[in-house]
Amino acid sequence: MVVHPRKFLVNFILRAQLKEISSFDETLGLNDAMFTAVISFNIALAILCLIVAWKLHHIKNTLRRATRWLINAEQNTDQILYPAPYYILLGQAGIAQRQRQVAGIRAIQQQVIRFATLLKLLQWIYQRQAESIQGRFVSRAKRLR
């Protein structure tokens, strides 16, 4: 029977490792209870690592969904707000135009106020003149009597 050299080498290494383990067990005095405890601890540790990996996978999926949601929200917001600068500029131009109109109206308002003040002044002067003239006529009438 011909044995492949690679298989022979693998078998040789495995037998050597088994001999080392059994000699190691004998030198340390490991018994079945300690072996069971170590195996149980390794299984518990493997289960704990599996739970942590599952939770991390769950967190990864949650973050992936949140990322997709945020990207969609950003794209929708971008589509909605894309024309905003144009409308802001239109609003600013409209405000500037209204401010110029208001400035013109204020100038007219000041002229109207000045004209109204002038009319009041003329009315006051006219009343004073009328009173003065009426006072002269009354004093002449008294003298004539």
Give the pLDDT confidence score for residue 111 in this predicted structure.
94
Nearest partner of 14 among 22, 25, 4, judged by Cα: 22
Q: How many CB atoms lie within 10 A of CB 25?
A: 13
Identify the weakest region by mean pLDDT among 12-21, 23-32, 49-58, 101-110.
Answer: 23-32
Residue 7 has pLDDT above 80, yes or no: no
Question: What confidence tens digit (pLDDT) does each residue in 64-101 have?
Answer: 999 999 999 999 999 998 888 999 999 999 999 999 99
Phi/psi at 123 (5° precision): -65, -40
Question: What confidence tens digit (pLDDT) does each residue in 31-64 have?
Answer: 677 778 888 999 999 999 999 999 999 999 999 9
Nearest partner of 60 among 49, 52, 72, 48, judged by Cα: 52
First and final CA of the chain: distance in angstroms? 173
CA torsion sign, 29 to 30 to 32 to 34?
A: positive
Q: In whole angstroms, give the CA distance from residue 37 to residue 33.
A: 6
Give the pLDDT confidence score for residue 136 in this predicted structure.
67
Record the pTM. Answer: 0.41
